[in-house]
Copies of this chain bind each other. A is one copy, B any other.
Amino acid sequence: MKVHNFNAGPSILPNEVLYKASKALIDFEGSGMSILEIGHRTAPFMAVMEEARSLVKELMQLEDDFEVLFLQGGATMQFMQIPMNLLENGETAAYIDTGVWSSKAIKEAKLFGYTDVIASSKESNYNHIPKQFTIPQQASYLHITTNNTIYGTQWQSTPESSIPLVADMSSDILSRSMDFNKYSLIYAGVQKNMGAAGATMVAVRKSMLGKVTRKIPSILDYRNHIENGSMLNTPPVFAVYITMLTLRWLKEQGGIPAIEKINDKKAALLYDEIDHNPLFRGTVVKEDRSKMNACFIMDKPEMEEEFIKFCKKEDIVGIKGHRLSGGFRVSMYNALPYESVEVMVEAMKYFSLKKA
């Protein structure tokens, strides 16, 4: 029996993907071997890797200059790998701080050059996306986090920028239409909307690379991964396989425009309940609310534990807020069915009536 899985990441995956992977774990495409037992340089796995890379380009409609890589180390590795590859010693990179993840990215960039934090919503506990900022024209790039997973904020549109845009899209990648070609580098740990923990997607414009003078260790130089078709060394085979299956699934759903419609409906249903239900209150300014991670609290915090227990009986899991923001966080990634949000909303309604 499946639960209603609102985990923030690693998080729910499509059932079809899990069933297919479960079979491949015993016998991959009739090879007499598990997907875990085949060489990564064999034709069957190379095909998996190539399909995953090209599905990303297709679904996001990326221009030819982009190369798609599946690396290791999580989005956290990118916090340092990006400035190492793009930020020259003594030069400046601009960052907008919308929470823990951007802050961590800023911290790592300081090891390679100067950082200019041109806006931050820290003062108001990251409850909104900054609107006022001036992009320094001489900066090497501007880094944003399109969706803040912890505080539940989301950029509603891509900032206009004449300098290269770099984005951490870990928690809203492939969930909504965007002009991805406005970016120069997009990265995401795949464990939320794209696949299973263990692979990091990096889509980078080739024209951005090779401009810094520092010596970059082989494994951290994007150019080496590009040259080797994302197979510089043993890739995280299974995580890439799950990603490929999840991308196939998304394409079958109708791609990003189709999933976006469902994501809009799910978010509307939940936020509507948050707003109308007297027990609950959203923590983020309305116009910046994330459609992936809805954060809310109770006016009576002492009831929160009770509500979580109540939900557990309804097979609702993963709704406890991050320790930094408290309350609740309900994550509604691509694979979460609309029905799970209905069940969640029913639970909120019922609990509220019981308490009235």
Whether B22 lies near A26 (C-beta < 8 A) is yes
Those of A56-78 within 8 Å (CB) of chain B: 72-77
Measured between alpha carbons, how far is A233 from B198 in the docked complex, in Å? 11
Which of B80, B196, B217 makes the CB contact (< 8 A) with A108? Answer: B217
Q: Is the CB of A197 within 8 A of B235?
A: yes
A9-B33 Cα distance, complex, nearest whole Å: 13
Contact residue among B74, B75, B220, B242 (Cβ-Cβ distance under 8 Å from A36): B242
Using CB atoms and an 8 Å cutoff, list the residues of chain A in contact with chain B.
1-3, 5, 7-13, 18-19, 21-23, 25-26, 31-34, 36-40, 72-77, 79-80, 84, 104, 107-108, 111, 189, 191, 196-199, 215, 217-220, 232-239, 242, 315, 317-318
Taking A72-B74, A191-B237 as known contacts, 19 extra A-B pairs with beta carbons closer than 8 A to each other, sorted by chain A number, are A5-B32, A10-B38, A10-B39, A10-B234, A10-B237, A11-B37, A22-B22, A22-B25, A32-B315, A33-B317, A36-B196, A72-B72, A74-B219, A74-B234, A76-B234, A80-B218, A196-B238, A197-B236, A198-B236
Interface residue SS majority, chain A: loop
**Nearest CB in chain B: distance from A86 CB, A:** 14
Q: Which residues of B contact A77 (CB under 8 A)?
A: 72-73, 219
Partner of A79, one of B34, B219, B238: B219
**A215 partner residues in chain B, CB cutoff 8 A:** 111
Q: Identify the closest chain B residue to A108 (Cβ).
A: B217
Other-chain residue from B1, B13, B79, B80 in contact with A32 (beta carbon distance below 8 A): B1
B residues near A107, Cβ cutoff 8 Å: 218
Which B residues are CB-close (under 8 A) to A234? 9-10, 74, 76, 189, 191, 197
Q: How far is the CB of A121 from chain B (nearest CB, A)?
A: 23
**Sample (12) of A-B pairs whose CB atoms are under 8 Å apart:** A3-B32, A7-B39, A13-B34, A13-B36, A21-B25, A22-B23, A36-B242, A72-B77, A73-B77, A75-B233, A111-B217, A198-B238
